[in-house]
A = this chain, B = another copy of it.
Amino acid sequence: MKNKDKTISIIAGGAGFIGVNLGRELLKNNREIIVADNFSLGSKENIRTYIGQSFSEILSVDLSKVSSVAKLFDYCKDQYGQVDEIWHLAANSDIPAGVNDPNVDLRDTFLTTFNLLQGAKLNDVKKFHFASSSAVYGDWSGKPLSETLGPLKPISNYGAMKLASEAQICAAAESFLTEVNIFRFPNVVGIPATHGVILDFVNKLTNCPEQLEVLGNGTQRKSYLHVSELVSAMIFLSDKADRNHLVEVVNIGCDDNGILVSDIAEIVKKVMAPSASILFGNEDRGWLGDVPKFSYNIGYLKSLGWRPELSSRDAVARAAREILGDISK
Which residues of A line the B interface, CB within 8 A?
99, 102, 106, 110, 114, 117-118, 136, 138, 147-157, 159-161, 163-164, 166-168, 170-175, 182, 247, 249, 288-289
6 shortest A-B CB distances, which residue pairs? A164-B164, A150-B150, A160-B167, A155-B174, A153-B170, A163-B167
Given the known A-B contacts A114-B102, A175-B99, are A157 and B153 also in contact in the complex, defined by CB atoms under 8 Å?
no
Q: How far is the CB of A88 from chain B (nearest CB, A)?
A: 15
User: Could you tell me if A159 and B167 are in contact, using CB atoms closer than 8 angstroms?
Assistant: yes
Residues of B within 8 A of A138 (CB): 170
Q: Is the beta-carbon distance between B160 and A171 smaller than 8 angstroms?
A: yes
Question: Is the beta-carbon distance between A170 and B148 smaller than 8 angstroms?
Answer: no
**Nearest chain-B residue to A251 (Cβ)?**
B151
**A18–B305 alpha-carbon span in the complex (Å):** 48
Q: Which residues of B lie under 8 Å from residue A289 when comparing CB positions? A: 171, 174
Q: Are A167 and B154 in contact (CB under 8 A)?
A: yes
Which one of B149, B151, B153, B249 contacts A153 once the chains associate, using CB atoms below 8 Å?
A: B249
A163 CA / B155 CA spacing, docked (Å):
14
Q: Is the CB of A149 within 8 A of B150?
A: yes
Q: Which of B99, B147, B152, B247 contacts A167 (CB 8 A)?
A: B152
Residues of B within 8 A of A171 (CB): 102, 154-157, 159-160, 289
**A155 engages B168 (CB within 8 Å):** no
Q: Give the complex CA separation of A113 and B286 in angstroms.
A: 28
Instruction: Determine how close the nearest CB of chain B comes to the CB of A141; give it in whole angstroms.
Output: 12
* CB-CB nearest in chain B for A162: B167
> Are B149 and A170 within 8 A (Cβ)?
no
User: What's the minimum C-beta distance from A164 to chain B, rounded to whole angstroms?
Assistant: 3
A149 to B99, CA, bound (A): 28
A151 touches B249 (CB 8 A): yes
